[in-house]
Amino acid sequence: MDEPDREPTEKTTDDRREAERETKWMARNWIGIAVVSILALLVLVVGMMQATGLVDVLAPIADSGTGQWAAFGVLALAVLALAGWSWRAIVS
């Protein structure tokens, strides 16, 4: 039977440039994840405050309640698109 932990999945590197490149790549991807997470949390908070009536942030964009929720939906879709873009950068 083959043990999965016998050999590492990634090969270690002795090349300094390659290690620096990989470190920059990892930092850029983790920063992307952090930014998307923060934006998603902000959209969630605004949506919850909008739903309870505590704020009326989207009133300058749309007059009716339906229009405000449509603007909120567009905002949520933009965050989801940004999340998909950052995830694609990580996977590839």
pLDDT digits (tens, 9 = 90+) for 4-17: 556 655 667 678 88
Q: What DSSP letter does each residue of 7-64 carry, written as one string? A: S-SS-----HHHHHHHHHHHHHHHHHHHHHHHHHHHHHHHHHHHHHTS--TTTTT-SS
> pTM of the full predicted structure?
0.64
- What are the tens digits of pLDDT across the range 16-63? 888 888 888 888 888 888 888 898 899 899 888 888 888 887 778 778
The pLDDT value recorded for residue 89 is 60
pLDDT at 92 > cutoff 60: no
Indicate if the pLDDT at residue 2 is higher than 60: no
Alpha-carbon dihedral angle through residues 62, 68, 72, 78, given to the nearest 10 degrees: -30
* CB-CB neighbours of 28 under 10 Å: 13
